[in-house]
Every structure is written in structure tokens, then in C-alpha cells.
């Protein structure tokens, strides 16, 4: 039962969107998913309240230093995946959550401020490896990427991460209105009305590719075979 933590010490990096996209894709595949919502904005919990009985995902808000270990242990028997959405700030909870993680995902937009917030997480992971021999697999996912343009800033971020030996997912999270609307409407990309949400099919395709790539990496860690993901084909 993998624990996947999403972390960036700068808010607005697309962290919570990445959590929800992965969670809803895992649910679509038939997995039992629990999200520990440690972000003080509680966007995941707000989504859950909008969604109600339309989801099997379990959301636990108010995660703290004192409660996180117990909450993870209580969810192990009833979850195939536990996802942790951390605060978008420097917090003692970061190190503790990382210690329970099987994979850490670091969402970064193509800008210097987001890169710095991601660097704080990467530096902590590298410190744990160098000083304590604790090696936790981790990846960066580039978020809110313009579907038409690869900006100079984005190229700089990718080059910088590559030079530091940091793995970057091949699948970025594209800037899509559906990824914003899902928090207002509740439900998932598969329950939204395609006549009212632009590029919904392409949004689904992006979410599926993102989830499939994460599952391949996590499955390698657990010695399992990643499940086949049925993708929605769209016109170019």
C-alpha cells in the first residue's frame, strides 16, 4: 500500500490539483484511495463536500504532526493508496510526512519561485539520503503548462533539475479549465458535462497519462506490474 506525498513549500504550485487528478484516476481504475488533507486551505475537503456520494475516495482533513502517524496506520487496511497533500509552506510536517512516504511528488510551475519551493523539498530529500541513508524515491511534475507554448522559464527549470539529477515526469499537467472547474463543481473529469467544460476529453487524456506514469514508477518500487490504463483518444 503506497503512500505518495505531494510537496512544494510555495503555495499555488498546482500541488492540490495534482493530488486530485491522481486520486480520481486511481478511483476510476478501481483502487481504494484515501487523501490526507494537511493543506490549511482544505481544497480537497471542500471538493469532497461538493462531491458527496459520487465518490468512493476517503478524505481526512485536519492532519497534524500529532495525528499523521495514527491516521496513516488507521487507513492502511482500507486503502490501496494513501495520498498526502501538504501545506504550501515550510512546515515541520514536511519531514514527518516524507518519512512515511514511498514516493514524493514535487509539483513545480515553470517559474523561479515555484522552483525554489520545490528545491526546499529536494534539498531535504537529499539531506536524508546523505546524512541518514534514507533514500526516498521522488519526482518532479511540471504543472500549469501552456498546451501550445514551451516557455523559456519552463525550459530553464527543466534544465536546472536535470543538472541536479532530479527525475522529471515526461507528462506535465497542462493548464486546463476543467482542472479548475472540478473544485467548484465536485465530481470527477468523468462526471462533468462536456458541453459546458472546454477541452474535457483532452483533460481526461492528460490526467490518465499523468497517473499512468506515476503508477509505473511506484510499481517499480513495489516490484509489481503497473496496470494498463485505458486512455480516451481525442483528435489532435
pLDDT classification of 156: cutoffs 50, 70, 90: confident
Q: Which three cell numbers stand for residue 51?
A: 462531491
Q: Return the pLDDT at 144.
A: 85
> How far is residue 145 CA from its own chain's centroid?
15
Mean pLDDT in residue range 142-148: 81
* 19 part of a folded domain: yes
* 32 part of a folded domain: yes
* 228 part of a folded domain: no
Q: How many CB atoms lie within 10 A of CB 202?
A: 17
Least confident stretch, 46-60, 90-104, 133-147, 156-170: 156-170
Q: Return the pLDDT at 225.
A: 41
Q: Return the pLDDT at 235.
A: 33
Return the percentage of the chain with pLDDT > 70, whole number: 87
pLDDT at 232 over 90: no
* 142 part of a folded domain: yes
Q: State how far the Cα of 28 lies from the Cα of 188, in Å rounded to an integer.
A: 9
Mean pLDDT in residue range 148-157: 66
* 159 part of a folded domain: yes
pLDDT at 60 over 90: yes
Q: Return the pLDDT at 223.
A: 52
Residue from 193, 124, 139 nearest 169 by CA: 139
Range of the domain at 111: 3-222
Q: pTM of the prediction?
A: 0.88
Mean pLDDT score across all residues of the chain: 86
Mean pLDDT in residue range 95-119: 84
Q: Supply the CATH number for residue 8's domain.
A: 3.40.50.300
pLDDT at 209 over 80: yes
How many domains would you assign to the chain? 1
Q: State how far the Cα of 204 lies from the Cα of 224, in Å rounded to an integer.
A: 25
More confident residue, 89 or 51: 51
Q: What is the DSSP letter of 151?
A: -
pLDDT classification of 151: cutoffs 50, 70, 90: low
Helix (H) or strand (E) holding 136: none
* 235 part of a folded domain: no
Q: Is 143 exposed, middle or buried, given 0-12, 13-18 or 19+ CB atoms closer than 10 A?
A: buried
* 175 part of a folded domain: yes
Q: Return the pLDDT at 162.
A: 76
* 230 part of a folded domain: no
Q: Return the pLDDT at 229.
A: 43
Q: Return the pLDDT at 90.
A: 85
Amino acid at each position: 500500500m503506497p503512500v505518495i506525498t505531494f510537496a512544494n513549500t510555495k503555495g499555488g504550485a498546482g500541488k492540490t490539483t495534482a493530488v486530485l487528478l491522481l486520486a480520481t484516476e486511481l478511483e476510476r481504475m478501481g483502487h481504494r484511495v484515501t487523501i490526507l488533507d494537511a493543506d490549511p486551505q482544505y481544497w480537497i475537503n471542500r471538493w469532497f463536500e461538493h462531491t458527496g456520494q459520487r465518490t468512493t475516495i476517503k478524505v481526512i482533513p485536519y492532519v497534524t504532526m500529532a495525528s499523521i502517524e495514527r491516521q496513516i496506520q488507521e487507513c492502511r487496511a482500507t486503502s490501496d493508496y494513501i495520498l498526502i497533500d501538504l501545506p504550501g509552506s515550510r512546515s515541520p510536517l514536511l519531514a514527518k510526512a516524507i518519512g512515511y512516504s514511498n514516493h514524493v511528488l514535487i509539483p513545480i510551475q515553470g517559474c523561479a519561485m515555484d522552483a525554489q519551493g520545490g528545491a526546499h523539498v529536494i534539498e531535504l530529500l537529499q539531506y536524508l539520503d546523505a546524512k541518514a541513508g534514507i533514500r526516498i524515491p521522488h519526482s518532479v511534475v511540471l504543472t500549469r503548462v501552456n498546451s501550445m507554448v514551451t516557455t523559456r522559464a519552463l525550459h530553464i527549470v527543466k534544465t536546472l533539475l536535470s543538472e541536479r539529477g532530479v527525475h522529471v515526469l515526461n507528462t506535465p499537467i497542462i493548464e486546463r479549465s476543467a482542472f479548475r472547474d472540478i473544485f467548484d463543481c465536485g465530481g470527477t473529469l468523468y462526471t462533468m458535462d462536456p458541453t459546458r467544460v472546454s477541452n474535457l476529453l483532452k483533460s481526461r487524456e492528460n490526467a490518465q497519462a499523468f497517473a499512468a506514469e506515476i503508477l509505473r514508477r511506484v510499481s517499480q518500487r513495489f516490484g509489481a506490474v503497473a496496470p494498463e490504463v485505458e486512455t480516451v483518444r481525442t483528435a489532435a
